[in-house]
Structure 1
Amino acid sequence: MQNLTKFPSNATSSYTTSIIIKVCVVIPLFSVFLYCIFLMLHTFASHRQFLDSSRYILFAYMLVNDTLQLLSSVLLFLFVMGNVKFAIIYCAPLLFVSVATFQNGPLILAAMSLERYVAIFYPLRQPRSWRPERIWVIALSLWVISCIPPAVDFILMRPNVDWDVFTTPLVCKPAVLNGLPIQTLFKVTVNILFFAAVAIIILFTYIRILLETQKMRQDRASVTKALHTVLLHGLQLLLSVMVFTFPITENLIVLNIRWMQEDIQFFNYFCFVLLPRFLSPLIYGLRDESLRSYMKKAMPCFRAYIEPHTVKQLKFQNKL
């Protein structure tokens, strides 16, 4: 009898420790991501040349979208870990933002690939909608398109008759609002269409720019750089698609490793949701030499190293 009374307390302690470890893994990583994103956005806002380029404007839009997606995702994760319950009326907006920003991610990648295509093939007669002062129209259109799937999903929603949308406390999970088979079919269809369309656009722009690289003899460096950029967008799309490997990885873990269901879900969430979202904008942003140099100047740890060299260089130039 004594062993029976001790077992639940040990199990509870182990479960609590597991939650603490998961939270301690996610929060620092998310904090580092936010710091890098805010540093990039501060760099964009502080230097006019970035705001005069459609490519950088779309990239800033992607940073804002990924930040909202990760913020809503991490909040949902913390609420589930803490078993926080609240009414559907407060849960639905959070889920709406999470789904809409997830759908918006690949659309932004497609727009960025098309922007490189337009910049290479129409350098002097660039379409008006792709110019820096009008690119916000494309960004707004992408946001409207990405909001349609979650809006339709919520229209199809049929809450339990015992629930009160305004008062019944529930754990905020997608499964709470997406219980009908037609909703599952709708989400799968939309995801397939979205990612297939984006993959076709990226492949099309890559092949066209590749063919143009072989034809051009002058300004070949800029075309090659655009080719590498489109290829990087394909890698970013591949990172986004990794979220759909949940069923495969879950079955593999169940067959080979005896993990609890909560641990399997966290492994999938961390490896295929958080990490790709963390790496995607950072890889793209830190790859850019001009953006990286300005970011170093804005960071306190680099500023002390850069400023003395800058002063010496200015003094040397004045002597000449």
Structure 2
Amino acid sequence: MEDNSSLVGGQSLRRINDQVIIVQILVMIFLCINLLLIMTFFKKECFYKTTRYILFAVTLLSDSFLLVMSNIMLIFNYFKVTMPVWLCIVISAVIILYFIVTPVTLTAMTLERYVAICMPLRHGELCSQSTTVNCILIIHCLSSVPFIVVLSIFFASASLSFYTQYRVCSIEIFILYRWQDDIRAGVYQLYFVLMCITIVFCYVKIMKVAKAASGEQRKSTRKGLRTVILHAFQLLLCLIQLWCPFIETAVLQISFKLFIFVRYIDYIIFILAPRCLSPLIYGLRDETFVHALKSYASFGLSKRNI
């Protein structure tokens, strides 16, 4: 396995320099958009006192951090930069954490929309500022379970001398035995099933409310339902990314050249793409946020009241 991970950062990646350049352009575009939205979020007090905007900011921050870290690892792999295994463990733990934070946060945002539409009288109580802070802590605790499982199994299997070795950093170096990969697969599949059940439950309940609504309430509910549908597509991409490591592992057994190509496609479609949909779904489609964004982007020249 270690030979393969070394190759990932070696000659094979040197042949796809055009693909690396494409990734750099996409990452820079997404980071600029996210930075503008994050700065807009902190310009208005109403945003950081409202649950859906706070969770939106969490996704923007976690997505931006993941894009930066994964891109640095991509560049390190491309130039075959080695580092101590213990340092790779720290970096990989953070990347795995924020790899999971986004889909878990999106699931929490789905629950928030469910409460807002199906339980409007209790929305203020259940989605208060203090509750949101606790929710963020719970999100990070739940998101830390996969990397705790992966690294705990690795610590129990690796010798002490392994930590001082220098390797090209890759998640594959922590998978010393096939059964470790099976346990990792089981944890991801459990998260996949639980989030899917939560999403389906919320969407079915929201659909029932949308059908029973009338007048302005119907219009408002249907607008929320459209947002939820777009949200479902983004969350689907994020959930599929949980399966990418297992698809890549299976492809690696067939062809290493095909493995490199599949990993690149997975990164573009299931890592970068979902993280460019957040600004579209929760930023550009929200009237309040768009007004604030226009005002901020025009350096305060816009006279509209938010």
Quick one: which of 107, 127, 134 aligns to 1:110? Answer: 107
Partner in structure 2 of residue 208 of structure 1: 205
* CA drift at 1:52: 2.5
Residue 267 of structure 1 aligns with an amino acid whose one-letter code is I
Unpaired runs of at least 5, structure 2: 1-10
Higher relative contact order (CA 8 A, sep 6+): 2
Residue by residue over 1:193-245, the C-alpha shift from the partner in whole angstroms, topping out at 9 and shown as x without a partner, is: 11221111111111111111222224222221221222222111211134335
Q: TM-score, normalised by structure 2?
A: 0.83
Partner in structure 2 of residue 232 of structure 1: 230
* CA drift at 1:258: 11
Partner in structure 2 of residue 178 of structure 1: 175
Partner in structure 2 of residue 51 of structure 1: 48
Q: 1:102 to 1:226 in 2, by over 3 A?
A: same
Q: CA RMSD in A?
A: 3.2
Q: Please give the alpha-carbon distance, in whole angstroms, between the structure 2 residues aligned to 1:268 and 1:67.
A: 18
Residue by residue over 1:157-193, the C-alpha shift from the partner in whole angstroms, topping out at 9 and shown as x without a partner, is: 056548441x311110001012223321222111111
* CA drift at 1:91: 0.6
* CA drift at 1:280: 4.0
Partner in structure 1 of residue 295 of structure 2: 297
Give aligned-pair identity as a percent.
29
Greater C-alpha Rg = 1
Q: Please give the alpha-carbon distance, in whole angstroms, between the structure 1 residues aligned to 2:246 and 2:287.
A: 39
Q: Does 1:63 align with 2:60?
A: yes
SS in 1 for 2:214: coil
Q: Please give the alpha-carbon distance, in whole angstroms, between the structure 1 residues aligned to 2:247 and 2:162.
A: 36
Give the conservation status (yes or no) of the 8 Å contact 2:110–2:202: yes
Quick one: which of 112, 116, 119 aligns to 1:122? Answer: 119
Residue by residue over 1:74-100, the C-alpha shift from the partner in whole angstroms, topping out at 9 and shown as x without a partner, is: 122111111110111111111111111
SS in 2 for 1:48: coil
- Equivalent positions of 1:117-266 (< 5 A) are 117-126=114-123, 128-158=125-155, 161=159, 163-165=161-163, 167-218=164-215, 219-243=217-241, 244=243, 261-266=259-264
Residue 99 of structure 1 aligns with an amino acid whose one-letter code is I
Q: 1:29 to 1:196 in 2, by over 3 A?
A: same
Q: Does 1:100 align with 2:86?
A: no
Partner in structure 2 of residue 32 of structure 1: 29
Q: 1:225 to 1:204 in 2, by over 3 A?
A: same
SS in 1 for 2:42: helix
Q: Please give the alpha-carbon distance, in whole angstroms, between the structure 2 residues aligned to 1:15 and 1:149.
A: 29
Give the conservation status (yes or no) of the 8 Å contact 2:149–2:184: no
* CA drift at 1:133: 3.5
Q: 1:156 to 1:259 in 2, by over 3 A?
A: closer
Q: Please give the alpha-carbon distance, in whole angstroms, between the structure 1 residues aligned to 2:203 and 2:73.
A: 37
SS in 2 for 1:170: strand
Q: 1:132 to 1:232 in 2, by over 3 A?
A: farther
* CA drift at 1:17: 6.2
Q: 1:127 to 1:298 in 2, by over 3 A?
A: closer
Give the conservation status (yes or no) of the 8 Å contact 2:118–2:205: no
Give the conservation status (yes or no) of the 8 Å contact 1:240–1:276: yes
Q: Does 1:42 align with 2:39?
A: yes
Q: 1:155 to 1:297 in 2, by over 3 A?
A: same
Partner in structure 1 of residue 283 of structure 2: 285
